[in-house]
Structure 1
């Protein structure tokens, strides 16, 4: 009957999505923050502990300043549970209402979020400029509310998604651990791993993605012990993954994941589809429910939730003048050493490197020189107010591996990014007596404070992928590959890997 229906205004849906995406851009979920703080307290690896401390410091700064946790403000992913007694009071579709909320969130003048989506994924790959459209999943359920789980998924972690169809007798746990071992650090640990098993290929992916938004409860499971087979599998995976020694940012350490989620669905007797989706250290999501009374808003977290991080982990670090840097100076850098960069550096990531390669193939000169320069793999958020640049953390360097010989041949001295480099790239770095440095992924707001000047020098049409020149002061980085080809992403996990308990039966 009509009196049993709940009418929800379309504008309230749009405003809820807008506010939700702005919220998740700036605030870590309380449960993730709690588990990350616990990981920081128990971490024994100095490099990993420093990385987590930078993430926590940057997180508090982002919350105080209401600015993005990470420069990759993600693809909007919305799970909508529509109560069957709900009437959406609008001439627009639910998708249109949600996408308008996304548009407003990413174009917010007070806190613009980085537009990362490109349309025509196969050919033109042109930036949509407002981060629409969102990926939307809708379920009709009993009830009188519209429940929205609003998430922002970064490219670094999304690119590490894995899928396989196992034989029914094969071990899910063994497959997951084998996959995580090969993921590298581009997904920005410490984070989460979610596993979906069953259904069809798309269903396994879907239930894995949705499970990422469930509350983090691994601490509770460890304290009381698993209560069913699924919890036992989750605990096993948590222990075995952390025993790999990958650690924060892949530097080697005790904590690679703070939780592992497992979700299952009935499947064909001949099949065992398994999806694995990592979640990065940003871990952005919020659950909001509309009941017809107006928009729904998330509660801003208590700033006392963040720990006081005493001391300066960069005290005594070597200061580097980028404007006078030489290969002879770089030869003295040791893998794992912390540096403070000062002076001018170029930026450039995927699209910029692709354009450089195209220009080189056509015999066209570049509009800038790479000789004796350092390049930072970054796509910053637009600045607001007095900011020189918005949050500007590193992007995954591995994607630039195919271009490394090209830029090193032009005299480039060093590169700054996040995550490991491939073996061929490491060999090229050593051959050119160059280096590779890493900034902490997930500490974008903290990193941006070291940038004192920024100007676009080329490829302005690429938006956030344009080439900038940054002037930096005491920007903290770590030597990930030295001029002899030693790699911390190989040495660190080797040093921190440890045995893990294995079950007697396959699950």
Structure 2
């Protein structure tokens, strides 16, 4: 019988969320490095390199891998012989640990959780409440998995209610391209098969916490070892999804998924639920066990686990002063061009865009001048110590599509920086307004933040990380995704 103390549990949760904010699992690093070595698409290879370089920087500096430090997800498996020395419930203890982790002055994490989701959507300021799953089992210990799930990947989750005779492989291969690149591939695809709708989704989420073992299945296949039906399914899906040519960040290439993880469960004879949940390039999770002897022991970081890679984007690229950018100069850039941006850019996400559009619709002046400006879709992490800004990687651009046409037409905005593709109407709007859309690498937030030399809030400070900032950047690496002529780097698909 184990006696688990409240403070030990809370401290372990706190330490786990701090740890995963800056430390990728080693198996993920190894799989990403293997993907980099075999990738032949230059743009995709560079994107993977940026992700790996960013990851090593974060492990060394103990700063977040991604500006989206995620919604806290915790799986708690409690042995039935465990006793607690605690006044708080399990969920209350988890939330206290999350609160302490996200408010840490040493490594401040971004608070992204909003309450009243169908109404006011007010930020809770400390990233609570967490999503907690509790399971009772035999034993004397408490087993915990902590994960920080980014919104970009979570938003691409799918639930398919298939007929029993339908092909699972065909259905998944058909739906993956509809997810776009906003989930920041390459990553891991979690799949839940069977049970009920909610059971399938939970299995898919939990499958993402398992180690990356696809290379072991490939070895078994190559050496003619017996494979289970699930293992055969994982291999087939891995091969067919990577054949889709989505690639890293949607740029094409052979590395869309690093592994396919599958959990299954008996289901109704009339049913075949299939849940799909992707984990992005900011895959963050850790598992620990409490046995009553004190706080959890987490993995030790060894920088030798990270490869040292060159950045291919440092060669053959344009250097642009955004303060002097005009539509005539934009026309000279072509989709696929690698660019280093210098000068002042603005930031704005969903909430700020809505406020800007409301002001335009009511003929009110805007609080910022958008003419001849570039907007970066980002919600940065707060800075610590001498940082100008915390990790500041791009957010999914399609969420701003419904605002983009009006802003381009009415304000003289020159362009945007985000991640992943844009919708067809937005591509047309960019072409008609002779604007431009750049992409930065999702999963390289800390690397990007080092190019930001000055930062100040210009408007909507009440929105916190969604306020409009002015960044002064120096050699910020981006790629022309959609040029002023409407040509898109995503047209390879």
1:56-205 matches, cutoff 5 A: 56-205=52-201
Structure 1 residue 181: Cα displacement: 1.4
1:40-60 Cα distance to aligned partner (Å, 9 max, x none): 001000000000000011101
Structure 1 residue 487: Cα displacement: 0.8
CA–CA separation in structure 2 for the residues paired with 1:42 and 1:348: 36
CA–CA separation in structure 2 for the residues paired with 1:82 and 1:111: 30
Aligned residues: 488
2:463 alignment partner in structure 1: 462
Contact 1:145 1:290 in 2 (8 A): yes
Structure 1 residue 307: Cα displacement: 1.1
SS at match of 2:314: coil
Structure 1 residue 297: Cα displacement: 2.9
Q: Which moved more, 1:309-318 or 1:329-338?
A: 309-318
Contact 1:30 1:301 in 2 (8 A): no
1:299-342 Cα distance to aligned partner (Å, 9 max, x none): 22210111121365322311000100011111010111100000
CA–CA separation in structure 2 for the residues paired with 1:376 and 1:62: 22
Contact 2:320 2:342 in 1 (8 A): yes
Contact 1:20 1:297 in 2 (8 A): no
Give the gaps of 5 or more residues in structure 1. 495-507
Structure 1 residue 238: Cα displacement: 0.2
CA–CA separation in structure 2 for the residues paired with 1:88 and 1:403: 51
Partner of residue 51 from structure 1, selected from 47, 54, 75: 47
Structure 1 residue 68: Cα displacement: 0.2
1:364 alignment partner in structure 2: 364
SS at match of 1:447: helix
Structure 1 residue 359: Cα displacement: 1.7
SS at match of 1:313: helix
1:288 alignment partner in structure 2: 288
1:436 alignment partner in structure 2: 437
1:415 alignment partner in structure 2: 416
SS at match of 1:479: strand
Contact 1:115 1:127 in 2 (8 A): yes
- Tell me which stretches of 4 or more aligned residues in structure 1 moved more than 2 Å: 310-313
CA–CA separation in structure 1 for the residues paired with 2:177 and 2:263: 21
> What CA RMSD, in Å, does the superposition of the two structures yield over aligned residues?
0.8
2:279 alignment partner in structure 1: 279
CA–CA separation in structure 1 for the residues paired with 2:316 and 2:180: 29
Contact 1:391 1:447 in 2 (8 A): yes
Contact 1:106 1:113 in 2 (8 A): yes
Structure 1 residue 387: Cα displacement: 0.3
1:322-401 matches, cutoff 5 A: 322-401=322-401
1:501 alignment partner in structure 2: none
1:209 aligns with 2:205: yes
1:499 alignment partner in structure 2: none
1:13 alignment partner in structure 2: 9
CA–CA separation in structure 1 for the residues paired with 2:323 and 2:465: 25
CA–CA separation in structure 2 for the residues paired with 1:312 and 1:266: 48
Contact 2:49 2:311 in 1 (8 A): no
CA–CA separation in structure 1 for the residues paired with 2:45 and 2:312: 12
Structure 1 residue 348: Cα displacement: 0.1
CA–CA separation in structure 1 for the residues paired with 2:316 and 2:210: 42
CA–CA separation in structure 2 for the residues paired with 1:79 and 1:448: 32
Structure 1 residue 431: Cα displacement: 0.4
Contact 1:19 1:297 in 2 (8 A): no
1:479 alignment partner in structure 2: 480
1:502 alignment partner in structure 2: none
Contact 1:78 1:135 in 2 (8 A): yes
1:183-214 Cα distance to aligned partner (Å, 9 max, x none): 11000000011111111110000011001000
CA–CA separation in structure 1 for the residues paired with 2:254 and 2:312: 22
TM-score, structure 1 as length reference: 0.95
CA–CA separation in structure 1 for the residues paired with 2:307 and 2:313: 15
Structure 1 residue 363: Cα displacement: 2.0
CA–CA separation in structure 1 for the residues paired with 2:417 and 2:170: 34
CA–CA separation in structure 2 for the residues paired with 1:483 and 1:313: 22
CA–CA separation in structure 1 for the residues paired with 2:445 and 2:377: 13
